[in-house]
């Protein structure tokens, strides 16, 4: 089974049962605004042209967010959901840039870098054979859980049976190479705020196809080594903070170049031994 969600915006009544179920299962704050996705709200119901449009992570079949993450904090599980390991995150935010749907959100309220998004209740429900909390809570059947192929067949059957009700398109079938969250609508998806310019090719493959053709990519070895040193060093320092070996304030004071308080070029001048150079 390839777990997936089909959301039919023509059936959504805007009750936000999915939003509250998500917050409860993930222990997210309930007093923050629920009008847009954030680090504290992983699914929302937007009001668009008289329709209620549920938003969440699309769980791409080949996720760009996981592809661009240099430390493996985001990964595509064998079961399907794209999950996140905060202990690995270094706060580079490449995932936010790489996602064609602008889903990952940076949590500015925590001292250590974290990115938040829907993980399809992977550990708390899917791993136990249960459907996600959001689909289980939906009272109108607007958002349902099941096998991706079966949901695609269901979506196509609804379009065939009611052509006057739906536009002839299943969003997520091909966008970004295909996603595990699919949508049906009575209105063009562009009007509902969906990215209708997303490539049909998987974004990771597209990214590497482009990079391989840029000569500058292979001629900046020094810059790449510098970048890898920064990523590795920052990860080591943040791990010490997480383990209680030092405080975040001490880490910032001793390693200002890792926290934006000096530049990498200054760090290179001050620490030539770290870069195979001498003063």
Q: Determine the Cα–Cα distance for residues 64 and 149; give it in Å rounded to an integer.
A: 22
pLDDT of residue 115: 93
Residues 186 and 233 occupy one common structural domain: no
Predicted confidence (pLDDT) at residue 25 exceeds the cutoff of 60: yes
In this structure, the answer to whether residues 15 and 103 fall within a common structural domain is yes
Pairwise CA distance, residues 189 & 264, whole Å: 43
- Kindly state whether residues 121 and 221 are assigned to the same domain: no
pTM assigned to the model: 0.76
Domain ends where: 174, 204, 234? 204
In this model, does residue 117 exceed pLDDT 50? yes
Higher-scoring residue by pLDDT: 165, 210: 165
Q: Does 124 share its domain with 57?
A: yes
Is the residue at 193 inside a domain?
yes
What is the CB-side half-sphere exposure of residue 11 using CA atoms within 13 A? 14
Model confidence pLDDT, tens digit, residues 172-206: 999 999 999 999 999 999 999 999 998 888 877 65
Give the CATH number of the domain where residue 167 resides. 3.30.70.20
Write the DSSP string, 236-261.
HHHHHHHTTSS-HHHHHHH-GGGTTS
Mean pLDDT of 219-231: 51
When mean pLDDT is compared across 8-12, 68-72, 189-193, 241-245, the lowest value belongs to: 241-245
Percent of the chain with pLDDT over 90: 57
* Structural domain contains residue 159: yes
Domain count, the chain: 2
As a whole number, mean pLDDT of residues 38-42 equals 94
Least confident of 102-111, 200-209, 247-256: 200-209
**CA triplet 178, 184, 190: central angle to 5 degrees?**
80
Looking at the domain assignment, is residue 132 inside a domain? yes
Q: What is the pLDDT of residue 27?
A: 95
Same domain, 195 and 57: yes
Cβ atoms of residues 80 and 2 within 8 Å: yes
pLDDT of res. 183: 98
Regarding predicted confidence, which is higher, 100 or 113? 100
DSSP string, 157-180: HHHHH-TTTS-S--BTSSGGG-BS
- Together in a domain, 128 and 245: no
98 plus 191 within the same structural domain: yes
260 and 136 in one domain? no
- The reply to whether 151 and 233 lie within a common domain is no
Q: Is residue 211 part of a domain?
A: no
Residue 77 structure tokens: 């599980």
Q: How many other β-carbons are positioned within 10 Å of the β-carbon of residue 50?
A: 7
Please compute the mean of the pLDDT values over residues 237-260 and round it to a whole number. 75
In a domain, 186, yes or no: yes
Which region among 34-38, 189-193, 265-269 has the lowest average model confidence (pLDDT)?
265-269
198, 224: one domain: no
pLDDT of residue 271: 52
Indicate whether 5 pLDDT > 80. yes
Domain boundary among 151, 181, 204: 204
- Alpha helices (H) along 69-163: 94-98, 133-137, 148-161
Write down the mean pLDDT value for the chain.
84
Q: 149 and 250 share a domain?
A: no
Statement to judge: residues 232 and 168 lie in one domain: no
Domain with 112, as residue range(s), is 3-204
Domain boundary residue among 150, 171, 204?
A: 204
Band of pLDDT at residue 208, cut at 50, 70 and 90 = low
Q: Which among 110, 113, 72 has a CA at the least distance from the CA of 93?
A: 113
Asked, for residue 212, whether it belongs to a domain, the answer is no
């Amino acid at each position: 089974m390839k777990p997936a969600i089909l959301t039919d915006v023509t059936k959504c009544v805007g009750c936000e049962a999915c939003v509250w179920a998500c917050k409860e299962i993930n222990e997210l704050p309930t007093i923050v605004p629920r009008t847009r996705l954030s680090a504290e709200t992983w699914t929302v119901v937007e009001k668009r042209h008289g329709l209620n449009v549920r938003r969440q992570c699309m769980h791409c079949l080949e996720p760009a967010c996981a592809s661009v993450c240099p430390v493996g904090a985001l990964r595509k599980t064998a079961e399907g959901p794209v999950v996140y390991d905060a202990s690995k995150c270094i706060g580079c935010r490449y995932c936010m840039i790489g996602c064609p749907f602008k889903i990952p959100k940076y949590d500015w309220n925590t001292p250590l870098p974290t990115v938040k998004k829907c993980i399809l209740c992977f550990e708390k429900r899917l791993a136990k054979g249960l459907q996600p909390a959001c689909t289980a809570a939906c009272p109108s059947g607007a958002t349902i859980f099941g096998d991706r192929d079966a949901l695609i067949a269901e979506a196509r059957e609804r379009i065939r049976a009611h052509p006057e009700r739906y536009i002839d398109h299943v969003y997520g079938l091909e966008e970004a190479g295909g996603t595990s969250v699919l949508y049906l609508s009575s209105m063009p998806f562009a009007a509902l705020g969906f990215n209708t310019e997303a490539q049909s090719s998987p974004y990771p493959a597209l990214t590497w196809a482009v990079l391989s053709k840029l000569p500058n990519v292979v001629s900046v070895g020094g810059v790449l080594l510098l970048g890898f040193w920064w990523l590795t060093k920052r990860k080591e320092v943040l791990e010490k903070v997480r383990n209680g070996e030092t405080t975040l304030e001490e880490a910032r004071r001793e390693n200002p170049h890792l926290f934006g308080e000096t530049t990498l070029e200054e760090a290179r001048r001050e620490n030539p031994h770290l870069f195979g150079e001498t003063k």
